[in-house]
Every structure is written in C-alpha cells, then in structure tokens.
Chains A and B, each alone.
Chain A
Amino acid sequence: MGMTLAEKILAQATGQASVKVGDVVEPGVGLAMSHENAALVINQFNEIYKETGLAAKVWEASKIAIIFDHRVPAESPKTATNQKKIREFVAKQGITKFHDIRGDEGGICHQILPENGYVLPGSVIVGTDSHTTTHGALGAFAFGIGATEMASVWVLGRVLNVEVPGTIKVSFNGHLPKGVYPKDLILFLIGKISAEGANFKVFEFHGEVIRRMPTSGRLTICNMAVEAGATAGLVPPDKETLRYLKQDAGVTGKIDVFGPDPDAVYEQTIEIDVSQLSPQIAFPHTVDNVKPIKEAEGIPIQQIVVGSCTNGRLDDLEIIAKTLKGKKIAANVRMLVFPASFRIYLQALKKGYIEDIVKAGAVMMNPGCGPCLGVHQGALADGDKALATTNRNFKGRMGNPDAEVYLCSPATAAASALTGVISDPRKQ
C-alpha cells in the first residue's frame, strides 16, 4: 500500500520502511524552532533535569532555532528580561540558528526559517508556534507544539507519542482569475471545510495552480492550514522548491526530494476549481466565517494591517506598492505594513516599494508579529473594524475584544486602503 507524503516522512524519521495512519511513532527532529516562548521552554527544560544529577544539555545545538519576533523590540521590561535570559541560554548551549533583534538578519520565524535554508524537504520540523505548518510549503512535515513538549524535544531529539495522521488531498485546478491570490484559496478552503474540519489530519496540496505557484504563495497556503485544525499542510516538493532552496535560500549540496506514492491512500479528496473564485473575506470572529467579497463590500474600516508570517513577503509588498503608488490612502484609515523579514524589507526598499507605501500614508513597521496577535503596537479602539492580511480574527485578537478583524489578501487590503471601506480589487 502506498504512502502519503506525511507517512513517508514519518517513516523515514523513525527508520521504518513504512507507517500507517494511527501508528504511534517517535520521529527524530530535523529542526526545533522557538521564539520568545523559549523562555518557558528553558524553564521546563531545566525542570526536566532537576534532581537527575545530569547536566542540562540540549541534544543537538545545531538543530535548534530561536528567533525573536513576537514582541520586538521589547514592549516591556518583562519581555526584555525574558529575551536576555534566552540570549544567555543560547550562548551557553552553543545554539547557532539564533536570530536576535537585528536589521541584518531578523524577522518573523516563519520567514527566517525558509529564507535561511533551515527548512529541508522530507524533514520533521517542530515549532512552539501553531503556524509552524508554514514550512510544509517546502515539503517538510512541520507542526506546532507546546513549550513543555519542546523542552522534551530539546532533551531527546525526538517527539514522543505522535499518532500518524490521516491525509486530506486538496487539488486546486483551473486558472487564478485577476484579483484572486493564494490567500483567497486558503480562506475559501477553510470556509468550506470549517475551523475543525481537518483536526488531527494533514493537508497535502496538489493541482496545476499549486504547481505554477511560487514558494511565497505556497507558504501563505500552508501557513493557514492550522486554521482548519490541520496538524500540517504539505506541498510535495518540485522544481520550484529546488529553485527556491538554491536561489533564494542559499542551500548548497544535494537536496533529497520525494513526493507521495502514486497509490497513496487519502482519507478525503477535495477538488477546487479556482477559475470561478472571487476574492474572499473571513468575517469576525472565526477564520472559517468566509464569504465572497461582494458580501463585504462597503464595510467601513479604521485600520488595515498588511504583513505577518502569512502575507508579508516581497510579492505581497509589491501588490501594495503598485496599488498605492502616487495615491493616498483614505483619510479615515490607519494602514500598518510590516514585512516578514528584514531581508524582504531591504529588497522592498531597493525596488522603491517602501517609498510608494509610505508616501501614500501607510506606516512602515519593523518585521515582527506585534499587531497580528495584539501584543505589541497597532491595538484597535473599541468598536474599530480592522482589515488584515494576517491569519486570525478571533475575538480580542488585535488586542481588543470590543473590536472586529476581517481577513483578506494583500490585493483586497490595498484596494480597501484607498477607499476606507472593504473594496473589490478587481474593480480598480
């Protein structure tokens, strides 16, 4: 019986010829990523070693990545002190994949990992962040875990008691219409399958639309797989994956690439013809409350947020810059733009995008997670409606339970910035 991509990766990571759905496995970890919550991981890591008489040493320092992104630069003495504690741990343990608050190498973890070549196809990646699913875009089995589980991984180098999940095959076929982007595809899928429709399952993304899509769009789609409850979202690696890894991520040497078996068994198959799709909007307060844009047009908004690990990449900024160039955003709107990494920030600067964005009235912010989860900058006022290219719109998400967040693509965000109401990018 053939295996899905997730099954093949888990078989390889456990040194077995095959695994099947429901098997309990303990896969070896290729990369273990944390951000500021490494402060809690360190606490739990030390707890595990307490009174064992053993030296608290991570299993393999080169396989641990720590990226500061959630509250950068620190918003409080408490965060600054946590970051200081993490720096000390990084130095003591010899962790090299560490990205501090720096303009030359900083950014959001889910962009830093791929752009530095830390994500390899066929590997198992765990992260103390639910959007770790992002890295499935490069054919890795990547999933979010909690801090205590990460502490256990730091000790053992493997994840304990993982049940091999069933796979849902999703095929996107047809041609993307004007104004419709990868973000619209994943919002549509989440709306269709529901916020728990893929709980404990894996998405495997197929179809000509995915094959033609650059890695940036695949990262957007896999990033939000978790919003349908999926453990992971995977794109079988192809020529574009190799191009990205070699050209953009600087990976040298042989890259081992494999996809699912042709006779793999899927628990469910979903076919989506994208040709008739329109831009999609996730209404408050759940990510699966998705409607076509015609049902949202005209809703007044007070804040637009563009960026995040979902849509803060160069092609996203290009869409914003080209729409805003030589124009002004509406007077009643605040627009915040935060690229996913400083590498992207500099590329956008070189191409003149930043100038176009700022001159139109938007505020450029440093790469980070801040406004998306309401921990740092960009908080909403009571009664505010925000339109965001981020990934969640839960009540309270942008720091205020008495505000509302709508989710959309960068194209919809840019079109709406000019009008001050939710607007269809196809009508520009």
Chain B
Amino acid sequence: MAKVILKLGAGVSTDIIYPGRFMATVLPNETPRYTFADLAINKKLNAGEIAAGSIIVAEKNFGCGSSREQAASCLKGWELTIIAHDFARIFLQNAINLGLGVINCPTIEASEGDELVIENGKIVNKTTNKSFAIVPLPKARQAIIDAGGLMPYTRSLILHKT
C-alpha cells in the first residue's frame, strides 16, 4: 500500500518536473533536489517528509516536452511511482531506461492522501474502494525493465556480443 502524495492534471511538462534553469545539473544523484522545483512538494521531498514508494497521480500526456532525462532521474531518486492516464513518448522511454516506476491507467481516480494498492494488473484505491485497470506497457519495453534498466541491458549485450 502506498500513499498518493500529489495529484496533477493533464500535460505536466518536463519544465514543471525539472525546470530548465537547473539543466546544468545532470548526474542522477544530484537531480532529485530540484524535483518539481516550483511546486510546494519540492520542500516536502527535500525535508524527507515523503516516503519512498509514494505515488504521483496525473492525467494525460505526463512528461511532455523536452527530452531532458533529469525529469525521470529526479523522480527515480526519490523512488516515486507515477500513475498517469498516459505518458509522452520520450519521458516514458527515459523512465523505463532508468527503472522509474510508471503505470498507464487511463481511468484512475484518486485524491491526495488516498492509499493505493497495485496488484494483478489493476490499481485498487483502498480509500474509495474502487479499482482501475492498468494498461500494460508495450512488450518491446519489457526486456529493458526485466534487465533492470537500459544500462545493464546494453552491458549484457556487449558482454554476450549480440
């Protein structure tokens, strides 16, 4: 069971997730401090008030805009899971490549503070007792997820000379 710590609308851009003015910071261990830099959640994250595994719920086209990988690495740094109606392409691929938890759920209904359980292809909102079907990620992505991310996946390819 994990708590929804932030509920966002449609079209959350990478400029909101990780504003351009922090783009000179690139390393995955340095990006988390600027997560949602212009939103109140930033202070709570940096104050250690958000538990790992907490959930952000959003609507359509989460992560639209720039290809900046900081937008995925900063969320990964806090071990957050993103449930959205759907995701923008580059963000989704970056998330999978880095092992950030992303879940497609076009019907999700949840408010901040709700407790969710993710199981057997669905999300159960324990607060409202409603459940919502998960849309599986494209099969092509699964091999990368199974390998633990793109870096170990590519490493295994060069070690096995494919």
Give residues in A with beta carbon < 8 Å to B.
24, 36-37, 39-40, 43-44, 47-49, 52, 54, 70-71, 75-76, 78-79, 82, 127-130, 132, 144-149, 151-152, 155-156, 160-163, 195-196, 199-200, 229, 231, 286, 373-375, 392, 394-397, 399, 401
Give the nearest-CB partner of A75 in chain B.
B24
A195 to B19, Cβ gap below 8 A? no
Some 26 contacts from A to B, beta carbons below 8 A apart, are: A24-B139, A37-B23, A40-B26, A44-B151, A47-B151, A48-B155, A49-B155, A78-B24, A130-B66, A130-B67, A132-B67, A146-B72, A146-B93, A147-B26, A152-B150, A156-B157, A160-B144, A161-B140, A161-B141, A195-B61, A195-B64, A196-B11, A196-B88, A231-B89, A395-B38, A396-B20
CA distance A231 to B15 in the complex (A): 19
Chain B residues positioned under 8 Å from A48 (CB to CB): 151, 154-155, 158
| B69 close to A (CB within 8 Å) | yes
Interface size class on chain B is 35 or more
Q: Which of B16, B26, B159 contacts A394 (CB 8 A)?
A: B16
User: Given known contacts A52-B158, A199-B86, is B19 in contact with A396 (CB within 8 Å)?
Assistant: yes
Chain B, 110-162, CB within 8 A of any chain A CB: 138-141, 143-144, 149-151, 153-155, 157-159
Q: Judging by beta carbons under 8 Å apart, are A373 and B139 in contact?
A: no
Task: Looking at the assembled complex, report how far the CB atom of B71 sits from the nearest CB atom of chain A, in whole angstroms.
Answer: 9
Which residues of B are in contact with A by a Cβ distance under 8 Å? 11, 13, 15-16, 19-21, 23-27, 38, 60-61, 64-69, 72, 86, 88-90, 93-94, 97-98, 138-141, 143-144, 149-151, 153-155, 157-159
Contacts of B143 in A (CB 8 A): 161
The reply to whether A146 and B94 contact each other, CB–CB distance below 8 Å, is yes
**Chain B residues whose C-beta falls within 8 Å of the C-beta of A71 in the assembled complex:** 23-24
CB distance from A147 to the nearest CB of B (A): 4
* Contact yes or no, B98 A148, CB < 8 A: yes
Q: Are B93 and A76 in contact (CB under 8 A)?
A: no
- CB–CB B86/A196 < 8 A: yes
Which residue of chain B lies nearest to A152 when distances are taken between CB atoms in the complex? B154
B65 CB contact (under 8 Å) in A75, A163, A392 = A392
Q: Is the interface of A mostly helix, strand, loop or mixed?
A: loop
**CB distance B13 to A394 under 8 Å?**
yes
> Please, how many angstroms separate the alpha-carbon atoms of A400 and B138 in the complex?
36
Known: A196-B64, A394-B65, A399-B21. 12 other contacts (CB 8 A): A37-B23, A39-B26, A146-B72, A146-B93, A152-B154, A199-B89, A229-B64, A375-B24, A394-B15, A395-B13, A396-B15, A396-B38
Q: Let me know if B21 and A375 touch, CB within 8 A.
A: yes
- Taking a contact as CB atoms under 8 Å apart, the answer to whether B97 and A52 are in contact is no
- Considering the complex, give the chain B residue whose CB is closest to the CB of A153: B154
Q: Complex formed: what's the CA distance from A152 to B141 in Å?
A: 15
CB-CB < 8 A to A145: which residues of B? 67, 90, 93
Shortest C-beta distance, A23 to chain B (Å), equals: 9
Known: A48-B154, A155-B154, A163-B138. A395 touches B64 (CB 8 A): no
B89-A200 in contact (CB<8A): yes
